């Protein structure tokens, strides 16, 4: 079962899977109750992938030069070039044919595999870092360690490294002060940021102290359920954050890839959530849960400046990969 991320206050909404409004440029090949699905065989052929079952009706793999995707029937968990990605809807088999939701095709797979290009004038130069929590909102607490302290220290280290790499950096807070969730994206907008990155550390209950790893969230597309649907509200409608659906998922993917590759921890994958800071964002935006304070071993590392430097370096590399993908010509 998915553990709650660090802050229920950050959560907003989500709904049942329902008909999808945003995704209908092409008519769906198949439609049952629930989301529209398309044949994965057609999808693969049109994108030059070879599809084969690793285990009939259970696991399948799609390969082409320099790309490999793995899917499991009835599961949302996918693997894209070695990176964990949580699909919006599970892979299904209809009449013996594997199918993927049309919304995943358009807002998960295609943006990652064929990155959206930016106009030169839209390139990434200014980055807004958002250290989670602050002031009267401590975030997670493990012993005397407060999440708000470590998100700020990580943000300051990351700001140093990004500045050294040539970016302009702005922080939603650089002291221990409280900022409303609703103000954080607004601060990024006012300061003309090109990217918004919210930084957090996770926690699990005592009974799950072995849980560890990094995960990255981006905004849930219209009509889809979030990973953390439990206990959320009632609207899967449109928010400003949906303007950047394609870039959101590409940024989240590149960051998850870099964190999973560079930190010796578990790859918990890319997820979707309608967190307030992602919902209101007017630029591509992600929320990073960089590790579990509640895991004794990972917690010790998070409280150590050397490890936070590694986290920061991984984020710098992920932003670099995103920038390269969006600014290069589509092949």
Helix (H) or strand (E) holding 209: none
User: Half-sphere exposure of residue 194, counting CA atoms within 13 Å on the CB side?
Assistant: 18
- Residue 111 or 134: the one with the smaller Cβ distance to Zn ion is 134
Interaction between residue 7 and Zn ion (CB under 5 A): yes
Interaction between residue 134 and Zn ion (CB under 5 A): no
* Sequence-ordered alpha helix ranges (H) in the chain: 40-46, 102-104, 110-113, 147-164, 181-190, 245-262, 276-279, 296-302, 305-327
Tell me which stretch binds Zn ion (CB under 5 A): 32-40, 71-79, 194-202, 307-315. 194-202
Beta strands in the chain (DSSP E): 30-31, 36-39, 50-55, 59-64, 67-72, 77-80, 83-86, 92-94, 97-101, 126-131, 141-142, 145-146, 168-171, 195-202, 214-218, 267-272, 285-292
- Residue 6 or 36: the one with the smaller Cβ distance to Zn ion is 6
- Residue 198 or 314: the one with the smaller Cβ distance to Zn ion is 198
Tell me which stretch binds Zn ion (CB under 5 A): 106-114, 118-126, 137-145, 241-249. 137-145
End-to-end CA distance of the chain: 39
Q: How far apart are CA 152 and CA 103, in angstroms?
A: 36
Tell me which stretch binds Zn ion (CB under 5 A): 100-108, 114-122, 133-141, 174-182. 133-141
* Least distance from Zn ion to the Cβ atom of residue 220, Å: 18
Q: How far apart are CA 81 and CA 254, in angstroms?
A: 11
Q: How far apart are CA 328 and CA 16, in angstroms?
A: 37
**In 3D, which of 87, 83, 80 has the Cα closest to residue 64?**
80
By CB under 5 A, name the one of 200, 247, 268, 274 that touches Zn ion: 200
**Cross-strand bridge partners of residue 94:** 97
- Residue 6 or 112: the one with the smaller Cβ distance to Zn ion is 6
By CB under 5 A, what part of segment 225-284 binds Zn ion? Answer: none
- Residue 139 or 221: the one with the smaller Cβ distance to Zn ion is 139
Tell me which stretch binds Zn ion (CB under 5 A): 4-12, 55-63, 246-254, 268-276. 4-12
- Residue 23 or 158: the one with the smaller Cβ distance to Zn ion is 158
Radius of gyration (Cα) for the chain, nearest Å?
A: 19
Q: Token pair for residue 217?
A: 């969230």
The residue count for the chain: 331
* Least distance from Zn ion to the Cβ atom of residue 203, Å: 8
* Least distance from Zn ion to the Cβ atom of residue 208, Å: 17
* Least distance from Zn ion to the Cβ atom of residue 175, Å: 17
Tell me which stretch binds Zn ion (CB under 5 A): 106-114, 124-132, 224-232, 321-329. 124-132
Query: CB-based contacts of 183: which residues, under 8 Å, 6+ apart?
Result: 172
Interaction between residue 132 and Zn ion (CB under 5 A): yes
The size of the interface with Zn ion (CB under 5 A), counted in residues, is: 5
* Least distance from Zn ion to the Cβ atom of residue 256, Å: 17
- Residue 20 or 281: the one with the smaller Cβ distance to Zn ion is 281
Tell me which stretch binds Zn ion (CB under 5 A): 18-26, 40-48, 126-134, 270-278. 126-134
Q: Which residues bind Zn ion (CB under 5 A)?
A: 6-7, 132, 139, 200
């Amino acid at each position: 079962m998915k553990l709650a991320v660090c802050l229920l206050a950050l959560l907003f909404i989500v709904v049942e899977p329902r008909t999808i409004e945003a995704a209908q440029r092409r008519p769906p090949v198949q439609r049952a109750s629930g989301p529209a699905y398309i044949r994965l065989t057609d999808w693969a052929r049109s994108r030059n992938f070879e599809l084969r079952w690793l285990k009939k009706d259970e696991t399948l793999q799609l390969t082409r030069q320099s790309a490999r995707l793995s899917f499991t029937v009835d599961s949302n968990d996918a693997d894209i070039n070695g990176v964990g990605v949580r699909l919006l809807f599970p892979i299904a088999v209809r009449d013996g044919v594997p199918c993927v939701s049309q919304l995943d095709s358009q807002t998960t797979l295609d943006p990652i595999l064929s990155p959206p290009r930016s106009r030169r004038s839209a390139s990434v130069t200014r980055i807004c870092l958002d250290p989670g929590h602050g002031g009267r909102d401590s975030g997670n607490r493990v012993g005397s360690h407060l999440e708000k302290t470590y998100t700020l220290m990580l943000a300051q280290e990351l700001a140093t490294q990004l500045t050294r790499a040539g970016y302009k950096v702005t922080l939603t807070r650089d002291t221990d002060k409280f900022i409303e969730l609703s103000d954080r994206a607004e601060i990024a907008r006012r300061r003309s940021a090109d990217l918004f990155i919210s930084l957090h550390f996770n926690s699990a209950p005592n009974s799950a102290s072995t849980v560890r790893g990094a995960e990255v969230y981006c905004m849930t597309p219209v009509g889809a359920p979030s990973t953390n649907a439990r206990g959320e509200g009632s609207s899967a409608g449109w928010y400003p954050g949906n303007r950047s659906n394609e870039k959101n998922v590409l940024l989240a993917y590149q960051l998850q890839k870099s964190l999973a590759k560079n930190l010796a921890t578990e790859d918990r994958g890319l997820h979707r959530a309608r967190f307030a800071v992602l919902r209101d964002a007017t630029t591509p935006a992600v929320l990073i849960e960089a590790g579990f304070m509640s895991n004794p071993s990972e917690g010790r590392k998070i409280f150590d400046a050397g490890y936070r430097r590694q986290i920061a370096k991984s984020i710098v590399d992920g932003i670099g990969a995103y920038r390269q993908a969006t600014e290069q010509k589509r092949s």
